[in-house]
Amino acid sequence: MSDLTRRALFGTLSAAALPAQQRASRPKIKITDVRCAIIGQSPVVRIVTDQGISGYGQAETRKVYLRPMVLFYKDLIVGEDPTDVERVMMKIRRLGAFKPWGAAVSAIEIALWDIAGKVAGVPVYKLMGGKVRDRVRIYNGGFRPVFKGQEPQHYAEVVQQMKEAPEGFTLIKMAVAFHNPAQMNAMPGEWYDEPRIGGTPHSNKGMLTEKGLKKIVASVEAMKKVLGDEVGLALDAGPGWMMKDAVNFCKAVEPMHLAWVEDMLTGDYSPYPNADLYRDLKMQTTVPIHTGEQIYNRQNFKDLIEKQAVDVLGPDPEDVGGIGELKWITEYADLHGILMAPHGIFDGLIGLAAHVHLAATLPQNYVAFEYPYGQPEWWYDIVEGLPNPIVKKGFIDVWDSPGLGVNFRVNAAKARLSPEDRGFFD
């Protein structure tokens, strides 16, 4: 078989298939440093190489404590070839865990893909199998107008603002019930366990009163009346529900054709998934059931997927172990008829780029990802490479720049560094 025929049948030869002499002529790139800076409130990872190419990853805004966790992995990966993403990840993945350790591992993984794309001169999506779609759907994420109160009409007012937003959202997610402490606190006698624990995210839990259940349902009805069938409505509702209340609520909202109800039983900072409970809930309602944003690593999705315990999964690429890990989970979920709608509200602009490249490659069980904003607003001044406008009619066009395609305006970014992080870009 001639070389021309071989290329036509099998494509361009990979580096591994080149003759040894040609492979040897390519200088091997090595990781020389791993750094972490808190820019605004966002932990940003920079992986530095001996060829002057750096890759960037980001963890969720507000994880200002993450620097030592990122640096814990430094000695394990310095000297490695960052373009061998899976080999590097095999050294650190098993040392991660549920929040916050998974965030450190995830940010490193995303930075590795950024380097690999820059070295190859191609966008990250090319390294992950290529595009399935040229534009990716998002939902509102970080766009949350201020409530003037907690009555049903106030929910209607807020979703009206979302419906009219310039992004043209085709899907909107709203927080209700235990995921919205303001709503619960505005309803005296809404649940039987009166003490409010506080101090940690979404720590309250208990049996709802009839009054409380009706008030939450009325809020959903008010939002759905505004959105109609023009814009989809999803609910972030927990965790905190008891099973019977969750079933009764889902049955009450079944006629509204919701996109999903999220994290009713476990979720967010719960350090475990509860597949058996979720399957019990799913079997008693036609409302799509969603969970997964807090979960780290593919193994911890095994029961949810294999038991078909939920209808929709929502891992966060900045907590689950990175974009390669999330793609693996999506493919496996697809085999079991489960949809994918990744979490991402606090993932920042580097995280946004990672979401776009990932979503472009996902199979057809992909729905939409949660759209992160730059926080604070000056983040838009310190990076370049994003489209303008970023979102058009509820979608983001996938760009073709090498790596993640979003880079720092270094001088502008340096001005935002704290004294502790002054050498981050050096």
**What is the rounded average pLDDT of the residues 16-21?**
44
At position 420, the amino acid (one-letter code) is E
Domain boundaries, the chain: 31-122+417-421, 127-401
Residue 249 · residue 275 · CB < 8 Å: no
Q: Which of 134, 135, 142, 172 is nearest to 395 (CA)?
A: 135
**What pLDDT, on a 0 to 100 scale, did the predictor assign at position 359?**
98
Instruction: Tell me the three state secondary structure of residue 184.
Output: helix
The CA–CA distances, whole Å, from 382 to 64, 75, 133, 145, 318 equal 19, 29, 29, 25, 21
d(CA 222, CA 67): 43
d(CA 374, CA 58): 12
Q: Is the pLDDT of residue 190 over 50?
A: yes
- The enclosing H or E element of 121 equals none
**What is the rounded average pLDDT of the residues 211-240?**
97
Structure confidence at residue 228 as a pLDDT band (50, 70, 90) = very high
d(CA 281, CA 263): 12
| Higher pLDDT pick, 194 / 8 | 194
d(CA 86, CA 426): 27
**What pLDDT, on a 0 to 100 scale, did the predictor assign at position 195?**
63
Structure confidence at residue 420 as a pLDDT band (50, 70, 90) = very high
Q: Is the pLDDT of residue 51 over 90?
A: yes
**What is the rounded average pLDDT of the residues 60-80?**
96
CATH H-level, domain 31-122+417-421: superfamily: Enolase-like, N-terminal domain (3.30.390.10)
Asked if the domains 31-122+417-421 and 127-401 are classified in one and the same CATH topology, the answer is no
Please give the class, per CATH, of domain 127-401: alpha beta
**What pLDDT, on a 0 to 100 scale, did the predictor assign at position 188?**
81
d(CA 402, CA 56): 13
Instruction: Tell me the three state secondary structure of residue 320.
Output: coil
Count the helices and strands in the chain (H runs, E runs): 17, 14
**What pLDDT, on a 0 to 100 scale, did the predictor assign at position 25?**
55
Q: Which of 404, 320, 348 is nearest to 128 (CA)?
A: 404
**What pLDDT, on a 0 to 100 scale, did the predictor assign at position 16?**
40
Residue 61 CB neighbour total at 10 angstroms: 25
Residue 234 · residue 260 · CB < 8 Å: yes
- Percentage of residues in the chain with pLDDT exceeding 70? 93
Structure confidence at residue 49 as a pLDDT band (50, 70, 90) = very high
pLDDT 10s digits, 315-363: 999 999 999 999 999 999 999 999 999 999 999 999 999 999 999 999 9
| Higher pLDDT pick, 43 / 25 | 43
DSSP letter at 391 equals -
**What is the rounded average pLDDT of the residues 264-272?**
92
Question: Which range among 148-162, 183-197, 243-257, 395-409 shows the weakest confidence by mean pLDDT?
Answer: 183-197
Structure confidence at residue 13 as a pLDDT band (50, 70, 90) = very low
> Going by C-beta distance under 8 Å and a sequence separation of 6 or more, which residues neighbour residue 84?
none
Strand partners for 35? 46
**What is the rounded average pLDDT of the residues 12-26?**
45
| Rounded CA Rg of the chain | 22
Q: What is the pTM of this model?
A: 0.93
pLDDT 10s digits, 277-289: 999 999 999 999 9
CA angle, residues 13, 16, 20, in degrees to nearest 5: 105
The CA–CA distances, whole Å, from 27 to 82, 271, 313 equal 13, 43, 41
Phi, psi of 80 (to 5 degrees): -80, 160
Mean pLDDT of the chain: 92
Instruction: Tell me the three state secondary structure of residue 214.
Output: helix
DSSP string, 229-278: TTSEEEEE--S-B-HHHHHHHHHHHGGG--SEEE-SSS-TT-SS--HHHH
Structure confidence at residue 185 as a pLDDT band (50, 70, 90) = confident
pLDDT 10s digits, 132-174: 999 999 999 889 899 999 999 999 999 999 999 999 999 999 9
Instruction: Tell me the three state secondary structure of residue 376.
Output: coil
The overall longest dimension of the chain from CA atoms, in Å, is: 79
| Higher pLDDT pick, 16 / 154 | 154
Strand partners for 260? 234
Question: Which range among 1-15, 22-36, 66-80, 296-310 shows the weakest confidence by mean pLDDT?
Answer: 1-15
Structure confidence at residue 237 as a pLDDT band (50, 70, 90) = very high
Token pair of 407 as six digits: 């880079």
Q: Which of 316, 313, 352 is nearest to 336 (CA)?
A: 313
**What pLDDT, on a 0 to 100 scale, did the predictor assign at position 15?**
41
Residue 172 · residue 139 · CB < 8 Å: yes
